[in-house]
């Protein structure tokens, strides 16, 4: 007699930032967790799950992951989109958690076992000016990181993407009543940022991976010119050079530069990136379980990407809860075409609510040995951190024109 899902609960908590988590329980008493956090729009996903998905899950066999995925994807008629796909992702992650716990093994074992010793990660070095960033890079390298992303304040501009106000924790979703408004000049950015790469390579050499995120702000021509200009600094990747929805824009970039290109943190399905991958227009695909349909769908995307020499670079900012991070790490451990994993620290409160088996050592994350995803959610503690509305910033050009954040 097969098992049945008897409870589906959505837990919203704010231990430093908001997280939405789905917890499934089976008649056999096994529980599974799935991350459903969509930064700045959390309650839309919580409602989608609570009102439309949870009732459908009760009574289903937790072992039938593929059928449940298709039931929620094909069965909704309205396909794709961040809200729908984060909801499906949460169900998928929770079902894989249950399956691996039932099998008594860490999830990566079910996905085919270890394909590497550990998951190499990159940290975020940032600062208001170049000397501050250099100090941060030094600190990451001292802690054993083998890859570092650098972001810097731009003279003449106020707050810019990727530069923390808080030195220990980066969270861009700060506006509670309305989004924070920032101002932007692509000219000022393109003029200044190569000086940062020059300073980093000058002081620390080339013996580690250097990365940078342009956060979707350049035109294809600007990105092509920029990529070419910075080739001498040998970036591991230039991330999100142009707005990600236009897949053909990347053809222009690729025709002009050998700086490797990463994109995909805002993608929800394979349909958002199949052209980028099959035409070899990118080098790294940045999808992550919570925003791209869970473990099952991300596995499908990276296996497809492997056919074209595109490697993984899963998104791992603070808005991916430890549940999503664990799912990403289990995938990273087992896939053939692993590239690099993003890793940002969660707050102590977050780590207390979501106790996790994964840990950092020697520049890598390791999944630990617990069965399933290896994450437990302390519901009582979670309830002491109520939801607080938060918006990601919006961005305008210096003349007030709405721009990409």
Residues that bind ligand GCO (CB under 6 A): 39, 172, 213, 215, 265, 315, 317, 319, 342, 392
Kindly write down the DSSP assignment for every residue of 112-179, as one continuous string: T--SSSSEEEEEEEEESSHHHHHHHHHHHHHTT-SEEEEEE--TT-SS-TT--SSTT------BSSS-
- Spatial contact of 390 and 319, defined as CB atoms under 8 Å apart: no
By a kind-dependent CB cut-off of 5 to 8 A, residue 356 interacts, out of Mg ion, ligand GCO, none, with none
How far apart, in Å, do the first and last CA atoms of the chain sit? 52
In this chain, which of 213, 283, 319, 332 binds Mg ion, going by CB under 5 A?
Answer: 213
Judged by phi (left if over 0) then psi (alpha if -120 to 50, else beta), residue 311 lies in: beta
> What's the min distance (Å) between Cβ of 127 and ligand GCO?
16
At closest approach, how far in Å is the CB of 229 from Mg ion? 20
209 contacts which partner out of ligand GCO, Mg ion, none, CB within 5 to 8 A by kind?
none
Q: Is 366 a catalytic residue?
A: no
Compare residues 283 and 342 and give the one whose CB is closer to ligand GCO.
342
* Cα 60 from chain centre: 29
Nearest distance, CB of residue 266 and ligand GCO, angstroms? 9
Q: Is 319 in the site for Mg ion (CB under 5 A)?
A: no
Residue 342, interface with Mg ion (CB under 5 A)? no
Please identify, using beta-carbon distances, which residue of 99 and 315 lies nearer to Mg ion.
315
Residue range at the interface with Mg ion (CB under 5 A); choices 78-86, 193-201, 211-219, 276-284: 211-219
- The answer to whether residue 97 forms part of the interface with Mg ion (CB under 5 A) is no
Residue 73 vs 358, nearer CB to ligand GCO: 358
Report what 317 binds from ligand GCO, Mg ion, none; CB cut-off 5-8 Å by kind. Answer: ligand GCO
Per-residue exposure over 198-230, b if at least 16 CB sit within 10 Å of its own CB, e if not: ebbeeebeeebbbbbbbbbbbebebbbbbbeeb
Residue 283 interacting entry, from Mg ion, ligand GCO, none, C-beta within 5 to 8 Å by type: none
Angle, alpha carbons 308-320-387 (nearest 5°): 155
| Nearest residue to Mg ion, scored by beta-carbon proximity | 213
| Nearest distance, CB of residue 319 and ligand GCO, angstroms | 4
Task: Give Cβ neighbours of residue 333 (< 8 Å, ≥ 6 apart).
Answer: 108, 111, 114, 115, 116, 119, 367
Place of tokens 């995925």: 69
42 binds, among Mg ion, ligand GCO, none (CB under 5 to 8 A by kind): none
With the CA atoms of 330, 306, 239 and 220 taken in that order, what torsion angle do they form, in degrees rounded to the nearest 10?
-160
Could you identify the residue written with the tokens 């309650």? Answer: 43
Of 136 and 319, nearer to ligand GCO (C-beta) is 319
| Nearest approach, Cβ of residue 39 and ligand GCO (Å) | 3
CB of residue 343 to ligand GCO, shortest distance in Å = 10
Complex with ligand GCO: residue 42 or 97, whichever CB lies closer: 42
The DSSP call for residue 309 is T
What distance in Å separates the CA atoms of residue 33 and residue 191, rounded to the nearest whole number? 45
Considering the complex, state which of residue 366 and residue 404 has its C-beta at the smaller distance from ligand GCO. Answer: 404
Q: What is the DSSP string of 24-90?
A: EEETTS-EEEEE---TT-HHHHHHIIIIIIHHHHTT--TT-HHHHHHHHHGGGSS--SHHHHHHHHH
Query: Between 168 and 207, how does the x/- string for binding to Mg ion read (CB under 5 A)?
Result: ----------------------------------------
Select from ligand GCO, Mg ion, none the partner in contact with residue 171, using the beta carbon and a kind-dependent cut-off of 5 to 8 Å: none
Beta bridge partners of 238: 212, 261
Nearer Cβ to ligand GCO (60/315):
315
Among candidate residues 48, 108, 122, 161, the one labeled active-site is: 161
DSSP per-residue codes, 330-374: HHHHH-SS---EE--PPPHHHHHHEEES-EEETTEEE--S-SBT-
**Least distance (Å) between residue 325 CB and Mg ion:** 15
* Catalytic entry in 124, 212, 215, 291: 215
Catalytic residue flag (residue 145): no
Tokens of 402: 């709405």
- Residue 172 contact partner, candidates ligand GCO, Mg ion, none, CB within 5 to 8 A by sort of partner: ligand GCO
Residues 6+ apart with CB under 8 A from 401: none
Residues lying near Mg ion in the complex (CB under 5 A): 213
Q: Which sequence positions are flagged as catalytic?
A: 161, 215
């Amino acid at each position: 007699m097969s098992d049945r899902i008897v409870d589906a609960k959505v837990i919203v908590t704010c231990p430093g930032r908001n997280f939405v988590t789905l917890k499934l329980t089976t008649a056999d008493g096994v529980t599974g967790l799935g991350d459903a956090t969509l930064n700045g729009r959390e309650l839309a996903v919580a409602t989608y799950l609570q009102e439309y998905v949870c009732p459908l899950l009760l009574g289903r066999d937790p072992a039938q992951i593929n059928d449940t995925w298709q039931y929620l994807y094909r069965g909704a008629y309205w396909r794709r989109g961040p809200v729908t796909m984060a909801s499906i992702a949460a169900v998928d992650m929770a079902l894989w958690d249950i399956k691996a716990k039932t099998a008594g093994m860490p999830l990566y074992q079910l996905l085919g076992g270890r394909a590497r010793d550990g998951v190499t990660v990159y940290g975020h070095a940032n600062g208001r000016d170049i000397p501050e960033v250099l100090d941060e890079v030094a600190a990451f390298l001292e802690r054993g990181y083998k890859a570092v992303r650098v972001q810097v304040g731009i003279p003449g501009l106020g707050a810019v993407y990727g530069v923390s106000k808080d030195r220990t924790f980066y969270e861009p979703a700060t506006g509670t009543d309305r989004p924070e408004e920032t101002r932007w000049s692509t000219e000022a950015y393109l003029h200044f940022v190569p000086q940062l790469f020059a300073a980093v390579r000058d002081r620390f050499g080339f013996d580690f991976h250097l990365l940078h995120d342009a956060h979707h702000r350049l035109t294809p021509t600007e990105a092509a010119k920029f990529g070419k200009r910075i080739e001498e600094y040998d970036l591991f990747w230039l991330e999100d050079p142009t707005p990600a929805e236009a897949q053909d824009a990347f053809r222009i970039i690729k025709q002009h530069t050998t700086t490797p290109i990463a994109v995909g943190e805002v993608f929800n399905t394979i349909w958002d990136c199949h052209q980028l991958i099959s035409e070899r227009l990118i080098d790294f695909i940045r999808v992550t379980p919570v925003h791209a349909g869970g473990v099952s769908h991300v596995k499908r995307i990276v296996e497809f990407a492997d056919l074209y020499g595109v490697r993984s670079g899963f998104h791992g900012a603070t808005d991916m809860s430890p549940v999503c991070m664990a799912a990403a790490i289990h995938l990273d451990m087992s896939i053939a075409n692993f590239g690099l994993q993003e890793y940002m620290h969660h707050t102590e409160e977050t780590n207390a609510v979501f106790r996790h088996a994964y840990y950092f050592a020697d520049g890598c994350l390791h999944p630990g040995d617990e069965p399933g995803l290896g994450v437990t959610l302390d519901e009582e503690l979670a309830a002491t951190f109520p939801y607080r509305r938060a918006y990601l910033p919006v961005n305008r050009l210096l003349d007030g024109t709405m721009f990409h954040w």
